[in-house]
């Protein structure tokens, strides 16, 4: 099969990966017909079968769903059919940066739920980051990828770097 530019219609970071809100809000807004969960653990981890079953149920049959590792996504994304309107879903910015650096043509990232955990700094109600996350967002910025925090479509998106203020 020849190499194509994949028709990526939406890319989102959501720690929970595929769940009902994705289908009901972002899936419909994006116009996607395929949700690609790009996540090593969900694709091949010890609980992958359970995770995939739950996520496919969340998709409600409205979308085709694929589970690929980051490496496999980079390897096969350019073989996508032009009819596939792809929604890429990752649970952290490092995976998105790896995809973009690997040649996946991501132009925009919608940042949703990145929950607070020990060692993270809360930037908004829905977004908490650590140094690894910040480094990934800087990698994305260097590639020209627009990174916007927007939990749901009914709120205005805000540029990540307008929220995260670097120390001088």
The model's pLDDT over 123-153, given as tens digits with 9 standing for 90+, comes to 999 999 999 999 999 999 999 999 999 999 9
Q: Which domains does the chain have, with CATH numbers?
A: 8-162 (3.40.35.10)
pTM for the whole structure: 0.93
Apex 45 CA angle, 116 and 87, nearest 5: 65
Q: Is 115 a catalytic residue?
A: no
CA dihedral in degrees (2, 28, 43, 142; nearest 10)? 70
Alpha helix stretches (DSSP H) within 79-119: 93-101
pLDDT of residue 115: 92
What angle is formed at CA 153 by the lines to CA 127 and CA 39, rounded to 5 degrees? Answer: 55
pLDDT tens by residue, 66-105: 999 999 999 999 999 999 999 999 999 999 999 999 999 9
Banded pLDDT at 2 (limits 50, 70, 90): low
Q: Which of 19, 78, 108, 115 is catalytic?
A: 19
Under the banding of pLDDT at 50, 70 and 90, the label for residue 168 is: very low
Q: Using the CB atoms, write b or e for 117-156: b if 16+ within 10 Å.
A: eeebeebeebbbbeeebeebbbbbeeeebebbbbbeeeee
Return the H-helix or E-strand segment holding 44. Answer: helix 40-44
Q: Which residue do the tokens 């009819």 mark? A: 83
How far from the centroid of its chain's Cα atoms is residue 37's Cα?
A: 8
């Amino acid at each position: 099969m020849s190499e194509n530019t994949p028709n990526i219609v939406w890319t989102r970071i959501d720690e929970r990966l595929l769940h009902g809100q994705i289908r009901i809000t972002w899936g419909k807004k994006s116009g996607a017909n395929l949700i690609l969960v790009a996540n090593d653990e969900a694709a091949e981890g010890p609980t992958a079968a359970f995770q995939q079953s739950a996520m496919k149920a969340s998709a409600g049959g409205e979308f085709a769903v694929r589970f690929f590792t980051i490496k496999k996504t980079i390897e096969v994304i350019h073989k996508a059919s032009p009819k596939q309107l792809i929604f890429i879903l990752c649970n952290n910015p490092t995976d998105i940066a790896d995809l973009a650096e690997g040649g996946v043509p991501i132009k925009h990232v919608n940042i949703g739920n990145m929950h607070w955990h020990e060692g993270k700094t809360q930037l908004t109600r829905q977004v908490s980051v650590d140094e690894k996350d910040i480094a990934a967002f800087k990698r994305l910025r260097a590639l020209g990828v627009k990174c916007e925090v927007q939990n749901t479509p009914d709120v205005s998106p805000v540029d990540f770097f307008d929220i995260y203020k670097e120390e001088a």
